[in-house]
Structure formats: structure tokens, C-alpha cells
Amino acid sequence: MSNRRVGILGLGAYLPEKVLTNFDLEKMVDTTDEWITTRTGIRERRIVEKGTATSDLAARAAKEAIQSAKLTPADIDLIIVATISPDMLMPSTACIVQEKIGAKCGSFDISAACSGFPYGLAIGEGLVRSGAYRHILVIGAEVTSSFINWKDRSTCVLFGDGAGAAVVGEVHDGHDILATYLGADGSQAKLLQIPAGGSAIPPTTETINSGLHFVQMEGSEVFKSAVRTMVDAITEVTRRANIKLGEIDCFIPHQANLRILNAVAERMGIPFEKVYVNLDRYGNMSAASTIVALYEAVKEGKVKKDSNVVLVAFGSGLTWAACAIRW
């Protein structure tokens, strides 16, 4: 491995303006603000206007990240978009984003669900470290609202739309990515999936009528796996980064459920004030979740120069991932 120091040069985020509160959901499905708040911690989420695609949110976040890195689109030599809600099956959302931001470079999507951003960061870090690329745009972007069954109260209350982006490159004064760790267990694929629309179950009127194009989830099983895999990911990434748990200043977890975050913190003895939370405002934005949380934690001064930060996520696959960063 080269001695090159690789890290985050700039951050960006974009959240749609439209807010959908738990009280709005009370009018749509058989649920209550009280149920959603106590079971998940979510109070509201952002939802795009009809006609807005994932690439639209991604491009807005990407432009801000490039600007904050003091670069121009011409400086970007690779674009990676992590998403489970691509604009379409092909071409990749990354190619559409490339056109929207005016870049000219290799562009591709990755599919690691809610672990997508840390997966993308690990790929970007490796490719910059190898010397093959200089400035890689890693984006986590989702319009999950297009893949949600708005009649299914067990899933529709959980998700939201949004995007975040980071420019990865060589660093000289902090922001170093110290270690990454990626995991997956395909034997648990059925716990959380969108079954139809791909080659296994191509779209037909029957698949549409059966709701097979929407997110399907076994919530309590996912909950248990989430706690187990996030504990594993934090433990492994801190070991690889050679830092003690007590030396971590801020945990930026995937924002799916407050009870999951509480359980992870409790199991690991992490003081909860070190855990960044914004799921009350945005719900679960899948691949956009950790990067938007990092963006806001930096803006709010919860992540500052020399902070040791751990990004940690889990999601469909099942996948899990963590990145340790010295800010």
C-alpha cells in the first residue's frame, strides 16, 4: 500500500424541500405520530416533487462538494454513485449525473443499499491511494419514495429522499481515511428487497399488481442483524485503524432507527452524545444517510479538526460497512 494520505476534500448535500410529517402519514395509512416516534425516532422526512429523479438530487449535492473542495467539474476523474433508487436500470445514474454537472470522466453506480456510501468511499480511497485517480466524486443519493408502497404502513413511515456527496483525493492537512471495512451476507438477501423489475422477476402486470416493485422487509429480523453487524463493523474498523473505541469523538451511523442506534451504543459502551442523529428530520435515506449525516455533523461543529470519526452502516444484502476518518 502506498504512503499517500487519502481523504475527503469537500462535502455537499441536498435535501428536497417538501416535508412529510408523521401527522401527514396519519392521513395516508393506519398509523400514528406516537407509534412512529416511539418505535423509530422519526418525526418527518423529505420527499421529492413528482418528476424529480435521484440524479437531480445527486447533481445538486455533487456541485456543492466540488465547490467546497475548491475544484471544478473538469478536475473530477471518476464518479461513483451509490443508490438503490437509480433513475433507470441503464444507463447508470452516475453517467446522468456526469452530464448534469458538466464533468467528463469514468462513471458508474454501486449497489450496496444503505451501506452504499461507505462502500463507495472505500472504493474511492483505494483508487486514489493506488495513484490511478486524483479526484473521485463519491455520491450517496436516493429517491426512495419511488420504491415505497405508500399503502404499507410497516415500510412507508421509515424512508426519505436526499443526497450527499464527497470528493476524495490526496490530503495533506487532515481528513485522512484511516481504515475501511466492508461486509456482506447474501444468505440474508430476502430480509430486505425489491423483488421484481430485474432479470429474476421481470416486470409484468401481475408483478405490479402484487406490489413486487416496492420495498419488502422483515423489520424485526433486519433490526437484530443491524445491531449485530454495526457492532462488528465498528469493532473491526477501529482495530484496522489502530484506534481505541474511547478515542472516537463522533460516530456517524446509518440513520434507520433510533432504537438500533441506542442498542449499538449500549452494547459497545459508547456514550450516546457521541452518536450523531438526524433521522428525526430525514428518516432512512438509504445510501444518502451517512454522507448527509457527516455533512451536517461537520456544519454543526460536532466533527472538527482532528476529530476521530467512524461512519458505520448496514443495509439490504445484507451489507455492512465502516470507515474511520481523522478529520
**Residue carrying the nine cell digits 475544484:** 71
- The window from 30-38, 132-140, 239-247, 295-303 that contacts ligand COA (CB under 6 A) reads 30-38
Asked whether position 178 contacts ligand COA by CB under 6 A, the answer is no
The size of the chain, in residues, is 327
- Interface pick for ligand COA out of 315, 319, 320, 325 (rule CB under 6 A): 315
The Cβ-side half-sphere exposure at 1, using a 13 Å CA radius, reads: 11
Pairing, β 78-82 against β 136-142: parallel
From 245, 295, 288, 289, select the one nearest 270 (Cα to Cα). Answer: 245
- Interface pick for ligand COA out of 114, 196, 252, 263 (rule CB under 6 A): 114
Q: Which of residues 228-267 bind ligand COA (CB under 6 A)?
A: 256-257
Asked whether position 147 contacts ligand COA by CB under 6 A, the answer is no
Which three-class secondary structure state does DSSP give residue 239? helix
Asked whether position 290 contacts ligand COA by CB under 6 A, the answer is no
Contact in structure between 100 and 81 (CB atoms under 8 Å): no
* CA–CA distance, 294 with 297 (Å, rounded to integer): 5
| 154-166 residues labelled b (16+ CB within 10 A) or e (exposed) | ebbbbbbbbbbbb
Task: Based on the residue annotation, tell me whether 135 is a catalytic residue of this protein.
Answer: no
Question: Shortest approach of ligand COA to residue 139 CB, angstroms?
Answer: 18
- Interface pick for ligand COA out of 50, 173, 220, 301 (rule CB under 6 A): 220
Instruction: With CB under 6 A as the rule, give the number of residues binding ligand COA.
Output: 20
Compare residues 226 and 248 and give the one whose CB is closer to ligand COA.
Answer: 226
Position with the least CB separation from ligand COA: 219
Contact in structure between 121 and 138 (CB atoms under 8 Å): yes
Q: Which candidate in 254, 278, 308, 323 is catalytic?
A: 254
Task: Based on the residue annotation, tell me whether 213 is a catalytic residue of this protein.
Answer: no
- The window from 119-127, 137-145, 149-157, 202-210 that contacts ligand COA (CB under 6 A) reads 149-157
Q: Which candidate in 95, 114, 156, 323 is catalytic?
A: 114
Cα distances (Å, whole numbers) of residue 104 to 96, 134, 207:
11, 14, 38
Return the axis-axis angle of helices 116-129 and 289-299, rounded to nearest 10°.
80
Asked whether position 40 contacts ligand COA by CB under 6 A, the answer is yes
- The window from 54-62, 131-139, 217-225, 269-277 that contacts ligand COA (CB under 6 A) reads 217-225
Asked whether position 226 contacts ligand COA by CB under 6 A, the answer is yes
Contact in structure between 54 and 143 (CB atoms under 8 Å): yes
Which three-class secondary structure state does DSSP give residue 159? strand
Q: Which parts of this chain interact with ligand COA (CB under 6 A)? A: 31, 35-36, 39-40, 114, 153-154, 157, 192, 217, 219-220, 222-223, 226, 256-257, 284, 315
Which residues have a catalytic role annotated?
A: 114, 254, 284
